Amino acid sequence: DQQVKQNSPSLSVQEGRISILNCDYTNSMFDYFLWYKKYPAEGPTFLISISSIKDKNEDGRFTVFLNKSAKHLSLHIVPSQPGDSAVYFCAARVMYSGNTGKLIFGQGTTLQVKP
């Protein structure tokens, strides 16, 4: 079951530069895509989301881009800071009746931002 895939297990960037994390999906029924950040021994922390009807959403240093034809999304962090070092998960929502849904997660990408 590889509905959501993050092909890069790790990424290392210099402080102040751009970090680009990528995610691919296979299911056209996803209605929202979300990015979560996770530190060791903590739960996933919500960062930013995007509706399947949009192609870009921005929140401060974080921007998510959605390319529906390619079934691809990316998270851009500009400028990257050492505190951004964490595991980043891409997740996609599948909706059910009654407004409940479940999140399908990618494997995660470990970002290291070097000072």
Partner 1 sequence: EPEVTQTPSHQVTQMGQEVILRCVPISNHLYFYWYRQILGQKVEFLVSFYNNEISEKSEIFDDQFSVERPDGSNFTLKIRSTKLEDSAMYFCASSEPAEETQYFGPGTRLLVL
Binding site for partner 1 (CB under 8 A): 31-32, 34, 36, 41-46, 49, 51, 89, 91, 93, 96, 98-108
CB of 95 to partner 1, least distance (A): 9
Q: Which is nearer to partner 1, 99 or 115 (CB)?
A: 99
Q: Which is nearer to partner 1, 4 or 13 (CB)?
A: 4
Q: Which is nearer to partner 1, 7 or 46 (CB)?
A: 46
CB of 11 to partner 1, least distance (A): 18
Residue whose token pair is 């870009």: 56
CB of 97 to partner 1, least distance (A): 8
Which residues, 6+ apart, have CB-to-CB distance to 111 below 8 Å?
Answer: 10, 11, 12, 13, 19, 21, 77, 80, 84, 85, 86, 87, 88
Both tokens of residue 64? 């998510």
CB of 84 to partner 1, least distance (A): 19
Residue 68 per-residue DSSP state: T
Question: What values do phi and psi take at 99, rounded to 5?
Answer: 65, 20
Residue whose token pair is 């996803």: 30
Q: Which is nearer to partner 1, 13 or 33 (CB)?
A: 33
